[in-house]
């Protein structure tokens, strides 16, 4: 068993885990943050995407012990209690989910993309989301939702100055 200390959604945590425990399983089972979904468990489907020091990564392709010292944001950290976020609203408006299994990965990935590139075009959104499998929607509504959310991220970039 090894200790790993990191920050999740702004809170410091310390876990004691076997080295072979993936970050995805650590988030779900030790920290009970079950918004992070585990689909393929070998880095193909993107459902387990989280933000590691701001960058979108597959949490099934990381060990919990590798997260030591880092800042993790899960899909729970991208929501807010009072109201839906602009990205969530856009997903609802465009019917960008059906079963919802892939949605946490879509939201975390799209959030990273829009934070870095609020001016991205449809081709870029498609390229980035190629790492996230959705078996329901056919992607068109997801791409539209992400494109429609760009305005909120542009405004945010302007506010930050």
Partner 1 sequence: MDCRVKPGNDNIMKMPPFDYACPATLSEAVALLASGKGEAKALAGGQSLLPMLAFRLAQPSLLVDLRKLADLREIKISPDGVRLGAMVRWREILDDARLRSAHPLLRAAVVEVAHYQIRNRGTVGGSLAHADPAAEMPGIAVTCEAEISVAGKSGRRLIKASDFFLGPLMTALAADEIIVDVRLPEWPPQRRWGFVEFARRRGDFALAAAAVFYDRDGNAKVCNCHVGAIGVADRPLRLSSAEAVLNGSSVDDERIAQAEAAACAAVDPQDDIHASGAYRRALIGTMVERALKAARAR
Among 10, 11, 82, 160, binds partner 1 (CB under 8 A): 11
Q: Judged by CB under 8 A, does residue 16 bind partner 1?
A: yes
Among 6, 35, 57, 145, binds partner 1 (CB under 8 A): 57
**In the numeric block, which tokens belong to residue 77?**
């950290």
Element (H, E) at 52: strand 49-52
**In the numeric block, which tokens belong to residue 20?**
């072979």
19 versus 138: smaller Cβ distance to partner 1 = 19
First and final C-alpha spacing in the chain: 45
In the 8-state DSSP scheme, what is residue 123?
H
Residues with Cβ within 8 Å of 29's Cβ and at least 6 positions away in sequence, in order, are none
Given a contact cutoff of 8 angstroms between Cβ atoms, the answer to whether 132 and 105 are in contact is yes
Dist. CA 97–CA 75, nearest whole Å: 15
Q: Judged by CB under 8 A, does residue 30 bind partner 1?
A: yes
Closest approach, Cβ 155 to partner 1, in A, equals: 24
Q: Judged by CB under 8 A, does residue 67 bind partner 1?
A: no
Among 17, 107, 145, 147, binds partner 1 (CB under 8 A): 17
Among 6, 36, 47, 58, binds partner 1 (CB under 8 A): 58
Dist. CA 10–CA 145, nearest whole Å: 27
Q: Judged by CB under 8 A, does residue 147 bind partner 1?
A: no
Give residues in contact with partner 1 (CB under 8 A).
1-2, 11-22, 25-26, 29-31, 41-43, 46, 49, 52, 55-58, 60-63, 65-66, 68, 109, 112-113, 126-128, 130-131
């Amino acid at each position: 068993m090894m200790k790993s200390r990191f920050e999740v959604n702004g809170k410091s945590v310390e876990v004691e885990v076997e080295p072979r425990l993936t970050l995805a399983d650590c988030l779900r089972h030790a920290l009970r943050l079950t918004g992070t979904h585990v689909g393929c468990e070998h880095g193909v489907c993107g459902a387990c995407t989280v933000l590691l020091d701001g960058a979108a990564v597959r949490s099934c392709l990381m060990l919990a012990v590798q997260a030591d010292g880092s800042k993790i944001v899960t899909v729970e950290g991208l929501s807010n209690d009072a109201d839906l976020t602009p990205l969530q609203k856009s997903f609802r408006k465009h019917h960008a989910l059906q079963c919802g299994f892939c949605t946490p990965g879509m939201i975390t990935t799209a959030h990273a993309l829009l934070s870095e590139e609020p001016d991205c075009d449809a081709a870029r959104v498609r390229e980035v989301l190629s790492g996230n499998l959705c078996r329901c929607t056919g992607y068109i509504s997801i791409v539209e939702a992400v494109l429609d959310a760009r305005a909120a991220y542009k405004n945010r970039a302007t506010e930050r100055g």
